[in-house]
Every structure is written in structure tokens, then in C-alpha cells.
Amino acid sequence: MTATRVLVLNSGSSSVKYQLLDMTDSSRLAVGLVERIGEEGSRLVHEPLAGPGARGGKRERTGAIADHAQALRAVAEELAADGMGLDSPELAAVGHRVVHGGTRFTAPTVIDDEVLAEIRSLIPLAPLHNPANVTGIEVARELRGDLPQVAVFDTAFHSTMPEHVARYAIDAATAEKYSIRRYGFHGTSHAYVSRAAAALLGKAVEDVNVIVLHLGNGASASAVRGGVCVETSMGLTPLEGLVMGTRSGDLDPAVIFHLARVGGLSVDEIDSLLNKKSGLLGLCGDNDMREVTRRAEAGDDAARLALAAYVHRLKKYIGAYTAVLGRVDAVVFTAGVGENAAAVREAAVSGLEELGLALDLEANAVRSPEPRLISTDYARVAVAVVPTDEELEIATQAYALVTS
Ligand code: ADP
């Protein structure tokens, strides 16, 4: 039997998201989520999408799930109940989302002891993310050590950024000593969406220059020339760049010194302030764009300000990346906000006619899960909405590696 399935695992600090895909047709066989691992009220929601189990719909398990090992064992049991367990001969690989690959990992990599040790050594660069990714890998290896486990890195797609783009203008020796440079994140999404945008335009990926705006709870922009990333808005960590749900994005680094010296805040307090209590949440008290736009439409001043700041930053990046690319074929919106918030897309593009951007407002208002163009026929630069699919991209990259 040919092994054509890939299990994709995205392990967070207290959650595991998973999908089982069949790579013959990129179909989903099962999807699920374990949340509140090690906390009160942990639960697993499993949805088989193929086989006899699919008729029964979603299944939910509640009760204590103490750690990632227990969580993955429960996931394996649910999959086994649908005849798609980890021991199934159809399984070709497990694809693990790993947030930080540093400068060492620029492509998907089959995990052995040495690779795992190197991913562990990158924990200081991504203290919130890499530890959970490592735990997920360790547990999956315990469950199916003989199966190829592939790490797919959020940073990898951005490793092609030229050195003068990736470097901060700080003392070179200090930067080298502490691995300080711009790495970029959301790479699997930027890779998938830039390719899908080329397909939507009916062109080869090598022939198009695109600006991708990944606007989820975290948000980042990238400039992709002929399929190669040349610039992205996130940096050493996901804090840099756009205004996000709870992150500030760009700010004068001296804000941090000021908060420490004048405000007496500790480094951890400032870290938490800028990552968890800033962005839309900091400006208006809500981080969900649905709520922010609803309040803004109802005339709420703080929500209007937050929305205006969010959109202003987007415009700045569209302008900057137009300058970086020289010629832009498409500006592409993706992720929760980018795919759903027509008002944000309209505001971000409005007034940019000089850059060749013009929206077809009717097309922009249509809701659809399909990739689609929302620019006018006469616009020089296409504007598109392309739903992202990070799990499919991870599975595709992992499968290509183990079958090559
Ligand atoms: P994550 O970064 O967590 O993967 P998503 O890409 O799923 O996030 O995006 C989540 C965000 O998308 C939510 O916080 C919400 O602000 C936004 N969102 C989802 N649906 C809508 C909608 N219909 N209108 C506006 N914003 C939306």
C-alpha cells in the first residue's frame, strides 16, 4: 500500500491543532484540536471527514488532559477509532509546524536527534513557541519513531531575504553574538498564498511580484518577487511590523527604555504589554476585528482610532513594498481579517490609485471561501483575496520531502 497521508501537528503552549490529509487529492480526512492542556477544562474536539466515522460528525472529549503526551495519545486514539490511527500503513509522515528555524533551517527538514537538539537550541529566540513545538515532536517520535517526522519552519520562506534587508543597523559583532536579525514568520502562509495568487492570475510564479498581507490575530506583510521572498514585516520575533490584534508592531525601541526608566516596568512586563496588551486591544479594548469594526460603525471613537491606526500601517507597508518590488502584479489579502473584513480591505487600498490600485467594491463585498480578484478591470495592479491554508502547505512540503 502506498503511504499518501500526512498528519500535521501544530503544537502550542497549551494546545495542539491537527489535521490528517491525503496527498493524492489534498483532501482532509480528519481535523481537530486539543485545548487547555494542563489547565482546568481541557477538551479535545475531533472531526472525522472521511470513512464511516464522518457520518457521526464532531466528537468531543472532556476531562483532564495533563500534558502534550496525553493530548497526542488521545488524538491517536480518536484517529484509530476512525480506522486512521498512527499505526496505519497509509501514513507517510508527520509534519510539525515549528515557529523558529533561526539561520540553520531554511527548508523543511526530516527530524533526527541532531535536528531536534538544534530546534531546542533555538528556544531563546522563540521562548513562547519553540518549546511546545519541541514537545510535540518528542511525543510524536515516541508514538511512531519509525515514521519520518518533518519540521516545517515559519521562518524558512523568509530566509531568502537579502542580507541588507535581514540585518538591523546595529553593531555587527553584537548582532552576530546574539543572532539578532530579521527572520520573519507566517512563512508557510506567505509561501502558499503567493503561489495561489500567481495561479489566480494565470501566471507562472516566477513571473509575478506580489505583496501578501496575512492579517490574522498576528499579522504580517511580505514582498515576494518571482516566488522568492525579498522582504517581510516581522523581525527577530513576531512583534515587528503591522498593528495586530494584541501586538504593537513597529515602535521606537526607546519606548522600552522609557517604560523601564520612567515607568519602572520590568522586561517581562514590557514584553507582555507589547505582545499581549497592545495593537487593537491596547488602542480600543477589543482585539477581534469583528467587534472593532462593529463599534467603529456605531461611532465609538476608540474603535475608530484603532481601525484607522491599523489601516494606516497597512497602507505604509503597501507603499513601502511597492517601492521595494518596483513592479507589483498583485496585492493579496489573507487570514481571518484579510479574508473576511471587506471594510478593512477597502480602507487599506483607498487612495492608492497612484500606485495602480483600485477596488471593485461589489466584488470586494462578496463573501466566498474561494480565491478571487476584487480589483477593477482597469486597475494596473490586481487586488485579490486568497484564503490561506497553512496545514495543506505543511503537508505538501513534508510529503514532497519524504517522497523525493
Ligand atoms: P490566527 O492568527 O489566530 O490564526 P485567524 O487568521 O483565524 O487568526 O484570524 C483571526 C481573526 O480574524 C480574528 O481575531 C478576527 O479579528 C478576524 N475575523 C474573523 N472573521 C472575521 C470577520 N467576519 N470580519 C472581520 N474580522 C474577522
The residues spanned by each domain of the chain are 5-153, 203-390
Which DSSP letter does residue 159 get? G
Beta strands in 138-201 (DSSP E): 149-153
Q: Is the Cβ–Cβ distance between 155 and 181 less than 8 Å?
A: no
Cell of 313: 500601517
What pLDDT score does 129 carry? Answer: 86
Dist. CA 345 → ligand 1 center (Å): 13
| For the CA of 217, the nearest atom of ligand 1 | 2
Task: Give the Å distance between the CA of 333 and the centre of ligand 1.
Answer: 12
Question: What DSSP string runs through 104-145?
Answer: T--S-EE--HHHHHHHHHTGGG-TTTHHHHHHHHHHHHHH-T
- β-partners of residue 46 are 32, 59
pLDDT at 56: 84
Phi, psi (deg, nearest 5) at residue 285: 95, -5
Q: Which of 274, 269, 288, 270 is nearest to 240 (CA)?
A: 274
User: Could you list the pLDDT tens digit for every one of the 404 residues in the chain?
Assistant: 689 999 999 988 889 999 999 999 999 999 999 999 999 999 999 999 998 888 888 999 998 999 998 999 999 999 999 999 898 999 999 999 999 999 999 999 999 999 999 999 999 998 888 899 999 999 999 988 899 999 999 999 999 999 999 999 999 999 999 999 999 999 999 999 999 999 999 999 999 999 999 999 999 999 999 999 999 999 999 999 999 999 999 999 999 999 999 999 999 999 999 999 999 999 999 999 999 999 999 999 999 999 999 999 999 999 999 999 999 999 999 999 999 999 999 999 999 999 999 999 999 999 999 999 999 999 999 999 999 999 999 999 999 999 99
- Ligand 1 pocket residue status of 335, Cβ below 6 Å: yes
Q: 203-390 sits in which CATH class? A: alpha beta
Ligand 1 centroid – CA 71 distance (Å): 26
Q: What is the pLDDT of residue 1?
A: 67
Q: How do 209-215 and 330-334 pair as beta strands?
A: parallel
Domain 5-153: homologous superfamily in CATH: ATPase, nucleotide binding domain (3.30.420.40)
Half-sphere exposure of 198 (CA within 13 A, CB side): 18
The whole-number pLDDT of residue 13 equals 82
Return the H-helix or E-strand segment holding 373.
strand 372-373
What Å distances lie between residue 18 and 4, 47, 48, 363, 387, CA to CA?
A: 17, 10, 12, 33, 19
Q: Which residue CA neighbors atom 22 of ligand 1 most closely?
A: 340
Q: Rounded CA gap, 241 and 166, in Å?
A: 14
Domains 5-153 and 203-390 share a fold: yes
Instruction: Give Dmax (Cα) for the chain.
Output: 67
3-state secondary structure of 397: helix
Residue 53 has a pLDDT of 83
How many angstroms separate the CA atoms of 133 and 23, rounded? Answer: 23
Task: Report whether 292 contacts 307 (CB < 8 A).
Answer: yes
Active site residues: 154
- 131-145 per-residue burial string, b: 16 or more CB within 10 A, e: under 16: ebbbbbbbbbbebbe
How many Å apart are CA 192 and CA 153, to the nearest integer? 13
Cell numbers standing for residue 310: 491599523
For residue 226, the model assigns a pLDDT of 98
Q: Where are the alpha helices (DSSP H) in 1-129?
A: 68-81, 113-121
The verdict on the CB of residue 279 being under 6 Å from ligand 1 is: no
